[in-house]
Amino acid sequence: MELSRPGFSVYLTLGYPGPAEALEVLRSLEACVDFYELGLPTRRPKYDGPTVRATHRRAVEAGVEGLEALRLLERGGLGKPFTLMAYLEDYLERPGLRGLLEEAAAAGALCVLLPDLPFDYPEMLEWYVDESLRAGLRPCFFASSRFPHGWLLRYAALRPLYIYLGLQPATGVELPIAVERNVRLARRLVGGSYLLTGFAVRRPETAAALIRAGADAVVVGSAVIRALEEGGVGEARRLACSIYEAVHGAAAGV
C-alpha cells in the first residue's frame, strides 16, 4: 500500500490519554487525517520533546507499555492506515526486532519507524529492511536535517514507504532553522521517495509551506496533544482539520 500524496498525519502515543479513551480520540480525528503515526509507549522516549514525553509517561503509568499497546487495537480497528514508531533499544532483547515487526504486521501497521536506528544502531539497517519485508511490512526511515547526504541517498535506494525528515532537534521544540530550505534539499536527494516532514509543526501555514517546498506529507503531534489537553477532543479535531485543509490546499495550488 502506498500513502496518499499529499498526506497529513497525526502522531499520538498509543494508550494516551488513557487506555479507555485512546481509540476514541483517534477515531475523532479520522475525517481530518490521511494516516496515523502511533507511538509505542516507552520509559525512554529519548528523541521526543516534553509534550510527547509526557504522553509516554501517562500511558506507561496507566499500564500500557511497548507491544502491550497493540492490544488496544484489538478492541476495534481504525478507519485510516497507520504506521508505528518505536525505539529500537527497547527491543534488542525479547521479543527482539523480529518480534516487534511481526506483532506490528499482525496489528495492521504499514511500517515501524525506529528513530534511534541510524544514530545508535546503523549496523542494523540492512537487517531491519530484510526483517521488515519478511514480516510483510515496508521499511521506513528517520533522518534529521543535519544528516549526511549519503544517508538520504542510501535510504532512497532501499525503496521505503517513507523517509521522515525531522525538521527540529526534538518533537515540539521550535528553533530558528531554515526548514523549507532543508525540505527542498532533501527532496533533491531522495528523488521520488515519499518525504514525510515533522517536528514542531504547529500551524496550518507552516504545513502548507512544507508541502510547497517539496514535502509529500506533514505529521503533527505535540500541537495536537496540547490542543487535546487544553480544549478536549473538539479543539484537537479543529486544529487537525485546519492543517489537513492547508496541506491539501497547498498541493492543489490554493
Which grid cell sits at 81? 492506515
Judge whether 48 counts as a catalytic residue: yes
Cα(192)–Cα(201) distance, rounded to whole angstroms? 23
User: Quick one: how many helices (H) and strands (E) in the chain?
Assistant: 9, 8
Catalytic residue among 34, 37, 90, 131: 37
Contact 8, 218 (CB under 8 A): yes
Which grid cell sits at 98? 523480529
What are 137-141's contacts with CB under 8 Å, separation 24+?
A: 137/101, 137/104, 137/105, 137/109, 137/110, 137/111, 137/112, 138/110, 138/111, 139/111, 140/83, 140/110, 140/111, 140/112, 140/113, 140/164, 141/113, 141/117
Judge whether 37 counts as a catalytic residue: yes
Catalytic residue among 48, 90, 103, 216: 48
Omega within 30 of 0 (cis) for the link into 81: no
Active site residues: 37, 48
